Amino acid sequence: MKFLITGAGGQLGKEWVYYLQQKNLQYVASSSSDLDITNRTLVFETLEKVKPDVVVNCAAYTRVDDAEDQIEAAFLVNRDGVTNMADACKKFQAKLIHYSTDYVFPGVPGDKSKFPDGYPESADTKPINVYGQSKRAGEMILEKSDFTDWLLIRVAWLCGPFGSNFVKTMLRLSEGRDEVGVVNDQFGSPSFSFDVVEKSMFLIRKNETGIFHISGKGLISWADFAEAIFSKSGKKTAVKQITSKQFPQKAKRPHFSYLSTMKLQQKNADILEWNYGLDTLLTRLKIDNT
C-alpha cells in the first residue's frame, strides 16, 4: 500500500510520516511547499506521478482566529483544496483520508446534557466561527461528491509531539510562571496525533468509508487538562480557573465539543482514555511523568 501525505509539515502530517517510517511502509510526503492543494493542476500531476493507493490529506488552514479576517484563504484551502483532492482521487482511484474538526458543531452549553457521550457523527452541524464553517464546507464537498471512497475523520483538541498544541504551550508557559489562567467553561476531550494515525490505519485496513470521530475518552475542561499536564510532568505551576469571557479570542469557541467515539467502538476499536494518551505524549516529549 503506497501513501501520499499532504500537509506533511504540520502536526498530524509529521505524525503520519513518523508512523509510516516506523512501519516501513511506502509513502511520499508533500509539505505545503511541495504540493499546494489549492493548485488543481499540481494536485492531479502529483497523483498521476506518485500513484498512491491512499491519499492522507493533512493539509488545512488551521489558524482559527486569523480565519475570521481571512475568510477566502480559509475556504480556499479547507473547501476548494478538498474538491481538488477528491476529484484527483476519483480520477486516479486512490482512497482519500480527510480530517475535520469538532468545530463543525454548534457547541452550545445545552448540548453537554443532550449529548452526554459526545456529538455522534450524525449530529447536526452548525459551526460558530469561520474556521469551522470552512471545514464544514470541505466536509460537504465529500458528502455531495459522486466519489465515495473517502474517510472523513473528525478530531478535536489535537495534541502530539510535533508542531504546536495545548500540551506543548502549557509546558512552555510553566517555565518561570507560578500560575497560568486557563478556561474552565469549554469542554471536550483531546485527540492524540499518534492515536489518530493508528485508528485511521485501523479504518483504512478495514476498508471503511464515511464519517468517523477519533478522540479521547472522558469529558474535561481545558483547565482540567492543564492541571493534569502540570501534575503529570512534575511542574509546580498552578492553574487559575478563568471563564471564556476573561480570555477573549477573536473567533468564538464552542462551550462543548466532545466527540462521541461510539461508531469506532462498534468496529471493535479500543478508545484511548485521555489521561493515558497524555502519559504517552509526555513520554514521547521526554518529560518525567512519574
Q: Tell me the CA distances in angstroms from 103 to 2, 53, 71, one per residue in order.
A: 31, 29, 16
Q: Contact with ligand NAP (CB under 6 A): which of 155, 167, 182, 264?
A: 155
Distance CA 241, CA 177 (A): 15
Q: State the sign of the Cα–Cα–Cα–Cα dihedral 26, 29, 34, 36.
A: positive
Q: Contact with ligand NAP (CB under 6 A): which of 3, 5, 9, 84?
A: 9
Q: Among the candidate windows 10-18, 117-125, 247-255, 280-288, which touches ligand NAP by CB under 6 A?
A: 10-18
Instruction: Please indicate whether residue 131 is annotated as part of the active site.
Output: yes
Q: Give yes or no for a contact between 229 and 170, defined as CB atoms under 8 angstroms apart.
A: yes
Q: Give yes or no for a contact between 251 and 64, defined as CB atoms under 8 angstroms apart.
A: yes
Q: Among the candidate windows 108-116, 156-164, 207-215, 264-272, which touches ligand NAP by CB under 6 A?
A: 156-164
Q: Among the candidate windows 111-119, 157-165, 177-185, 265-273, which touches ligand NAP by CB under 6 A?
A: 157-165
Residues 27, 99, 103, 131: which is the catalytic one?
131
Torsion over CA of 128, 192, 43 and 130, rounded to 10 degrees?
10
- Residue count (the chain): 290
Distance CA 96, CA 86 (A): 7
Number of chain residues interacting with ligand NAP (CB under 6 A): 28
Residue 237 contacts ligand NAP per CB under 6 A: no
Residue 214 contacts ligand NAP per CB under 6 A: no
Cβ nearer to ligand NAP, comparing 38 with 260? 38
Q: Contact with ligand NAP (CB under 6 A): which of 163, 181, 210, 218?
A: 163
Q: Among the candidate windows 3-11, 82-90, 142-150, 242-250, which touches ligand NAP by CB under 6 A?
A: 3-11
Nearest alpha carbon to residue 83 among 32, 13, 146: 146
Q: Among the candidate windows 99-107, 221-229, 231-239, 248-256, which touches ligand NAP by CB under 6 A?
A: 99-107
Q: Which H or E run contains 98?
A: strand 95-101
Distance CA 49, CA 53 (A): 12
Q: Give yes or no for a contact between 190 and 274, defined as CB atoms under 8 angstroms apart.
A: yes
CB of 7 to ligand NAP, least distance (A): 3
Q: Which H or E run contains 152?
A: strand 150-155
Q: Which residue is nearest to ligand NAP (CB)?
A: 10
Cβ nearer to ligand NAP, comparing 158 with 278? 158
Cβ nearer to ligand NAP, comparing 120 with 238? 120
Q: Tell me the CA distances in angstroms from 197 to 18, 94, 183, 207, one per residue in order.
A: 10, 18, 28, 15
CB of 196 to ligand NAP, least distance (A): 8
- What are the grid coordinates assigned to 203, written together? 479504518
Residue 259 contacts ligand NAP per CB under 6 A: no
CB of 148 to ligand NAP, least distance (A): 20
CB of 132 to ligand NAP, least distance (A): 10
Interface with ligand NAP (CB under 6 A): 6-7, 9-13, 32, 35-38, 58-62, 77, 81, 99, 101-102, 135, 155-158, 163
Active site residues: 131
